[in-house]
Amino acid sequence: MVLGVAHRERVSVVQAYRFALDLTPRQERVVLAHAGAARLAHNWALARVKAVMDQRAAERTYGIDEADLTPTQGWPLPALRRAWNQAKPVVAPWWRDYSKEAFNTGLDALARALKNWSDSRSGKRAGRPVGFPRFKSRRRSTPSVRFTTGAIRVEPDRKHVLLPRLGRLKLHESARKLARRLDAGTARILSATVRRDGGRWHVAFCVEVDRAARTPHQPQAVVGVDLGVRHLAVLSTGEVEPNPRHLDVAGRRLRRLARRMSRRVGPDRRTGRRASKRWERAQAALGRAHARVANLRRDGLHKLTTRLARACGTIVVEDLNVAGMLRNRRLARCIADAGFAELRRQLGYKTAWNGGRLVVADRWYPSSKTCSGCGAVKTKLALSERTYTCTLCGLVLDRDVNAARNLAALAVTVAGSGPETRNGRGADRKTPLAGPVTVKRQPGTATAGKTGTVPPQGRTSDHMLTKAS
C-alpha cells in the first residue's frame, strides 16, 4: 500500500491541532460537569440496550415467537439520540444547564462501540475480537467532551478559544499556526474535543485543511528504514538514529512515585473507602511523570518522520508484528517504549502530505538474513549476531545497515504511485535457501534414506522464518 499525493495542485486532508489549556478552577469544574453529562448519557444508553437484549433473550427461553418479543433498541446514533430525548426529562432534569453536545458525545461513543462489537462478531471487522462495551467509571475513565456545532473559533489574539457553553478558554501556547490557515480560508474547523490527559487539559481541533501539493527535496531518493531496539532506526544511507529510551531514563523517578502512592490510603471498592487527598496528589504526580515520557517519545518520532518525509521521495519500512513482538517478556518494555507502530503511522500520512510514497515490505521478507551484496539468504541468523557475514561474497556489514539496504533495494521491484505500496515479491513465511543444500528424505517415503541436492531457485527452507531484526 503506498501513501502519496495525487498529481494535483492542492489536496484536502483532515488533521488535528492540539493545544494545552490554562483553565481556571471554575472553568475546570464546568468542563468536568460536561464530561460527566457525557458519561451519564453513555451509561444510561448502555443500560437500556443491555436491558432490552437480556429481556429478549429471556423471552426466547419461554418459547415466545420472534414477532412478539420486546421491541429492539436501535444502536445507531440517531436511534440512541431519540431514546435519550424522550427519557432525559426524567433521567437528567438538569439537562438544560449543559450543552447538547455533551450528551451527544457519550451517545456517539456508545454507538461506535456497539457497531465495532457487532461487526467483530459477524466477521465484518478484521483484527482482534472486540468485546461488548462497558460502563464508564467516574474515577477510571478519561474526562472528554466533543463539540461539533455552535460557536467554535480561535480568538483574534490567538491565545484564547471560544467553545459552546464553556465560553472563552485561555490557551497555554499560541494558536498562530491554526489561526493563519483559518484567516487565509484554507482550513475549516469540523469539531473541537476537550480532554484531560496526564493531569492537564487539552483542546484538539479536527480541521479540514486545503494543502498545497509538495515535492520532497530529493524526489528520486530511496531510503530503507530498519527499526530496532538497540537503535531506533538505521537508514540505508548508514545514518543511525539512536534510541532515546525515555521510559528507562525516567524509570527511577517513576518507581519512586509509585512507591509513594502505594504508601498512601487508596480507594477500596469492596468496603467503599474513598481515597485520601495525599493518595490523589501522589497519583496525579505519577500521571504527570508518565505523560512527560509520552510527550518526549511523541516529539522525537515527529521530528524523525517529518525529516524523512520531507527529504526522500520513497521510504521503505517493514510490516512488523508489534503485537507478537510484545509477547517477548524480555523485550516487550523496550519495544513498547520505541513506538514502532506510531512511527509507521506518522510516515504514512506525512509521505502523503509531502508528495512521496511509503513502501511496506512484507512481514516475512527476510531483510536481516539477505546479503545486500549478492542476494544470498541465510537459513538462520541469531539475534545476538550483530554483524552480517556473507559466506558467498565475503561481505561483512552491520546487520541493521544490511537490512536497511535490502529494504531500499526492495522499492525498485515495487510498482505503484499511491500513498502506500505493498511489496510485490510474494514473500512467504519461509526463507529461500542461498545455494544447493543437501536434503535427507523423510522416513516412510518412496525415497527414504536417500539424499540429494536441491537448487536454490524456487525452493524454501524447512524452517519457518523467524524475524530477528
Active site residues: 226, 318, 400
Q: Which among 117, 119, 145, 122 is positioned nearest to 133, based on CA atoms?
A: 117
- Torsions phi, psi of 91, nearest 5? -70, -45
| Alpha carbon separation from 308 to 204, 354, 465 (Å, rounded) | 26, 10, 29
Q: What share of the chain is helix, strand, coil (3-state, %, to 5)?
A: 40, 25, 40
| Alpha carbon separation from 106 to 16, 80, 83, 419 (Å, rounded) | 21, 10, 13, 34
How is 159-207 classified by DSSP, letter by letter?
Answer: SEEEETTTEEEEESS--HHHHHHHHHT-EEEEEEEEEEETTEEEEEEEE
Q: Which residues contact 129 (CB under 8 A, 6 or more apart)?
A: 120, 121
CB atoms within 10 A of CB 360: 25
The dihedral built from the CA positions of residue 148, 153, 159 and 164, taken in this order, carries a sign that is: negative
Written as nine digits, the cell of 445 is 517415503
* C-alpha span between 207 and 186 (Å, rounded): 10
Amino acid letter at 91? Answer: V
CB atoms within 10 A of CB 374: 12
Q: Which among 225, 201, 461 is positioned nearest to 340, based on CA atoms?
A: 225
Kindly compute the dihedral angle of the four CA atoms of residues 426, 427, 428, 432, in this order, to the nearest 10 degrees: 120
Q: In the chain, what's the furthest Cα-to-Cα distance?
A: 86
- Residue 14 β-bridge partners: 208
- How, if at all, do strands 231-235 and 187-197 pair? unpaired
- Residue 22 β-bridge partners: 170
